[in-house]
Amino acid sequence: MRVLEIYGDSADFGRTHAAEYAPLIKAYLADRLDLAGDALWSGQNADADTILSLAESTLGHHEAYSESLFEEMGELAATSGISAAEAVVVGGFTDLIDLVRASGPAPVMDECTAVIDPIRGVLAQTWDMHVSAGEYVVLLKLDPLSGPAALVQTTAGCLGQIGMNEAGIAIGINNLTSIGKPGVTWPFVVRKVLQQTDFDDAVECVLDADLAGGHNFLLMGPDGVGANIEAMPGARHVTPVEVQPFVHTNHCIDATTKSEEGWRDDVYVINSDLRLARGNVHGGDVEAFFADPVISKRATDPHLTATCGAMVMRPSSRSLEAIWGVPGDRPWESFQL
């Protein structure tokens, strides 16, 4: 696991991240620009100018949602030699797919299986993405001048994907299929949640976001209480998780958010349902959860979806285990806040 420690303010975070990983960021950008315009992912062929124009339309929404994170992204872009819109492509790829989908149906790949287990105080998930994304997985140890320190699993050039802070607030995600619009991409939401010290404030960060695309956000606080939030551009649904394990995959469960789902191929509907069923079998046993080949997925084609990383977070002890690639292929690495 690549690990980068950063101390400072928002600008320091962006500059240091980019200075360390600029070649990876540029390579990842090229990969994602190619995929965002690939009919296999977005349902239609779109050139780079179209994708970047869509990304450009989101910039004002990002700045309005968090000036500090917008500054961080801007410094990351400038230091790595890319534009702010290109930085949105690197980090908010799946939301941009939702924006492309707004003009037509898309097949959409399935990504991520997650569980909140309040009994054992665990939030765990796979991070599933196009196989080539696994080349860019990193773990950031963020120590800001003000606010809580955090451990964030992400990819080079992306502000944050999964993580936990020293206040004992943890967040994970699943992708959802939506009809996108100009708005905030999900990594900004993840990082803003990790800037909070109160669990209710963290939940509000998700509920208040003017989202570009659909995602499911899973949160857990230091007392083991969690919340699952299906968040679509026009609707939100919160499920408190306090008594028993709660598993989520890549489809909406609530009727309100489900009404906003974009078209999904039957193959992916069946797969998401199957992973949900398998996750519910293993919800109280993370070892069995990650050992299930239906949940920890493999693929050889770099443009198909597989498990590119995973995390197990324990907010009460401020500890986590992380891995890149498919769990079981290499040892878990332990981190402590």
Q: What is residue 219's predicted lDDT score, i.e. its pLDDT?
A: 98
Question: For residue 104, what pLDDT is reported?
Answer: 59
| Sheet of 305-314, strand order | 246-248, 114-117, 122-130, 305-314, 319-324, 333-336
Q: Which residues contact 8 (CB under 8 A, 6 or more apart)?
A: 16, 143, 144, 145
Average pLDDT (246-270) is 91
* pLDDT for res 294: 95
Confidence of residue 107 (pLDDT cuts 50, 70, 90): low
Mean pLDDT in residue range 258-277: 90
Of 265, 297, 261, 264, the C-alpha closest to 278 is 297
Please report how the helices 10-36 and 67-80 are oriented relative to each other, as an axis angle in degrees rounded to 10: 70
The model's pLDDT over 136-154, given as tens digits with 9 standing for 90+, comes to 999 999 999 999 999 999 9
Three-state helix/strand/coil letters over the chain? CEEEEEEECHHHHHHHHHHHHHHHHHHHHHHHHHHHCCHHHHCCCCCHHHHHHHHHCCHHHHHHHCHHHHHHHHHHHHHHCCCHHHHHHHHCHHHHHHHHHCCCCCCCCCCCCEEEECCCCEEEEEEEEEHHHHHHEEEEEEEECCCCCEEEEEECCCCCCEEEECCCCEEEEEECCECCCCCECHHHHHHHHCCCCCHHHHHHHHHCCCECCCEEEEEECCCCCEEEEEEECCEEEEEEECCCCEEECCCCCCHHHHCCECCCCHHHHHHHHHHHHHHHHHCCCHHHHHHCCCCCCCCCCCCCEEEEEEEEEEHHHCEEEEEECCCCCCCCEEEEC
Domain-wise residue ranges, the chain: 2-101, 114-336
Query: What's the confidence (pLDDT) of residue 245?
Result: 98
For the cut 80, the answer to whether the pLDDT of residue 100 exceeds it is no
Structure token digits, residue 49:
């100018």
Higher pLDDT, 43 or 97: 97
Q: Tell me: the pLDDT tens digits for 26-54?
A: 999 998 887 765 655 555 566 788 889 99
CA Rg value for the chain:
18
How is domain 114-336 classified at the architecture level of CATH? 4-Layer Sandwich (3.60)
Least confident of 34-48, 82-96, 111-125: 34-48
Q: In sequence order, what are the residues at sequence separation of 6 or more whose Cβ sits closer than 8 angstroms to the Cβ of residue 192?
A: 65, 66, 69, 205, 209
Which residue type sits at 22? A
* Interatomic CA distance for residues 250 and 301, integer angstroms: 21
96 phi and psi angles, rounded to 5 deg: -65, -35
Mean pLDDT over residues 44-67, rounded?
89
Q: What is the pLDDT of residue 268?
A: 84
Region 196-222 average pLDDT? 97
Tell which residue, 320, 4, 268, has the closest CA to residue 162: 320
pLDDT of residue 105 exceeding 70, the answer is no
**Contact present, 198 and 205 (Cβ < 8 Å):** no
Q: What is the pLDDT of residue 316?
A: 98
pLDDT by residue (tens digit) across 147-184?
A: 999 999 999 999 999 999 999 999 999 999 888 899 99
Cβ contact 305:38 at 8 Å: no
Count of C-beta atoms within a 10 Å radius of residue 103: 14
Average pLDDT score, the chain:
92
- The tens digit of pLDDT for each residue in 281-314 reads 999 999 999 999 999 999 988 778 899 999 999 9
177 in Cβ contact with 264 (< 8 Å): yes
Q: pLDDT for 212-235, tens place per residue?
A: 999 999 999 999 999 999 999 999
